[in-house]
Amino acid sequence: MENFKILNFNLLNPIVQNLIKEAAEVRKKAYCTYSHFAVGAAILAEGGDKVYTGCNIENVAYSPTICAERSAVPKAVEDGHLKFEMVAVVANSDGSYTAPCGVCRQTLAEFRGSNGDIDIYLSKPEMDQVLVTKLSQLLPLSFVSFNKDVDF
Ligand SMILES: O=c1ccn([C@H]2C[C@H](O)[C@@H](CO)O2)c(=O)[nH]1
Ligand SMILES: [Zn+2]
- Measured from the CB, is residue 122 less than 6 Å from ligand 1? no
Kindly tell me if the per-residue pLDDT of 18 is higher than 90: yes
Domain that holds residue 79: 4-137
- Is residue 150 included in any domain, yes or no? no
Query: What pLDDT does residue 47 have?
Result: 95
Backbone φ, ψ for residue 59 (5° rounding): -145, 145
**Average pLDDT rounded to a whole number, residues 21-48:** 98
- Is residue 25 included in any domain, yes or no? yes
Q: What is the ipTM of this complex?
A: 0.99
| Total domains present in the chain | 1
Global model pTM greater than 0.95: yes
- Is residue 144 included in any domain, yes or no? no
- Is residue 143 included in any domain, yes or no? no
Specify the CATH number for the domain of residue 45: 3.40.140.10
Sign of the alpha-carbon torsion through 49, 55, 59, 62: positive
Mutate to test the pocket of ligand 1, among 34, 37, 69 (most ligand atoms within 8 A of CB): 37
- Is residue 71 included in any domain, yes or no? yes
